[in-house]
A and B are shown apart, each in its own frame.
Chain A
Amino acid sequence: GEKVEQHESTLSVREGDSAVINCTYTDTASSYFPWYKQEAGKSLHFVIDIRSNVDRKQSQRLIVLLDKKAKRFSLHITATQPEDSAIYFCAASMDYNQGKLIFGQGTKLSIKP
């Protein structure tokens, strides 16, 4: 079945710098790629997503890139702020009609002052 690998388990960047989190997936049929954020002691919430009909999407300081050929997608957080510190999970949907998301292992992002 589909597997989603999240390459960085931890990431530390200085406040104001950019952070990049990378994920790869295995199933070429995957068509939907959301990102979720989990702040300390809290549950997950959605931050941004990208669908396979585009290769770039931006929402304020968040940019998602999708490379279907390499089966890779990434989350770029620009001008990082302390409140960006959290665990970020990437996910992929292998079948648009089944509601099943396959999650990566999570990347703990720390923003240093």
Chain B
Amino acid sequence: GGIITQTPKFLIGQEGQKLTLKCQQNFNHDTMYWYRQDSGKGLRLIYYSITENDLQKGDLSEGYDASREKKSSFSLTVTSAQKNEMAVFLCASSIGGTGGDEQYFGPGTRLTVL
């Protein structure tokens, strides 16, 4: 088996601040994803990456940057935190780059912006 680790677990930021969230997986999966989960809205894809140094935009990429430094890690940057923003950011990985592969999710990073 494998595991996905997300750091930090809780992130408190100030309006306008640049914030970075990190994700590591030891499944040796090719594809990694970042989702945002808002209460009552399901999950929305921010960025995904099908291999090291690859980046693909999801439907919610505006206001975010991402970086796939190596196969096992995928980081997400909130470029300018919005006041009163609250959401959970979930990292996931899957074996391949197709929509038909099971995705494995990390425990999440809960963001609060003051």
Are B43 and A103 neighbours in the complex by a CB distance under 8 Å? yes
Give the contact-size bracket for chain A: 20 to 34
A26 interface contact, C-beta 8 A: no
Question: How long is the Cα–Cα vector from A94 to B58 in the complex, in angstroms?
Answer: 13
Are B42 and A100 neighbours in the complex by a CB distance under 8 Å? no
A112 interface contact, C-beta 8 A: no
Are A43 and B108 neighbours in the complex by a CB distance under 8 Å? yes
- A-binding segment of B13-21, B63-71, B73-81, B98-106: B98-106
Contact A1 to B99, CB < 8 A, known contacts A100-B48, A103-B44: no
Are A105 and B98 neighbours in the complex by a CB distance under 8 Å? no
Which residues of A sit under 8 angstroms from B100, Cβ to Cβ? 31-32, 49, 51, 93, 96
Q: Taking the nearest CB of chain B, how far is it from the CB of A82, in angstroms?
A: 23
Question: How long is the Cα–Cα vector from A6 to B40 in the complex, in angstroms?
Answer: 11
Question: How long is the Cα–Cα vector from A51 to B35 in the complex, in angstroms?
Answer: 23
B72 interface contact, C-beta 8 A: no
Are A93 and B106 neighbours in the complex by a CB distance under 8 Å? no
- Smallest CB gap from B33: residue in A: A99
Which residues of A sit under 8 angstroms from B90, Cβ to Cβ? 43-44
- Give the contacts of A90-113 with B (CB-CB under 8 A): 93-106
Which of A1, A4, A43, A51 has the most B CB atoms < 10 Å from its CB?
Answer: A43
Q: Nearest 5 CB-CB pairs, A to B?
A: A93-B99, A103-B42, A103-B43, A105-B42, A43-B105
Interface residues of B (CB under 8 A from A): 31, 33, 35, 40-45, 48, 50, 56, 58-59, 90, 92, 94, 96-108
User: 10 pairs across A/B with beta carbons < 8 Å?
Assistant: A1-B59, A43-B105, A89-B43, A96-B100, A99-B31, A99-B33, A99-B101, A103-B42, A103-B43, A104-B42
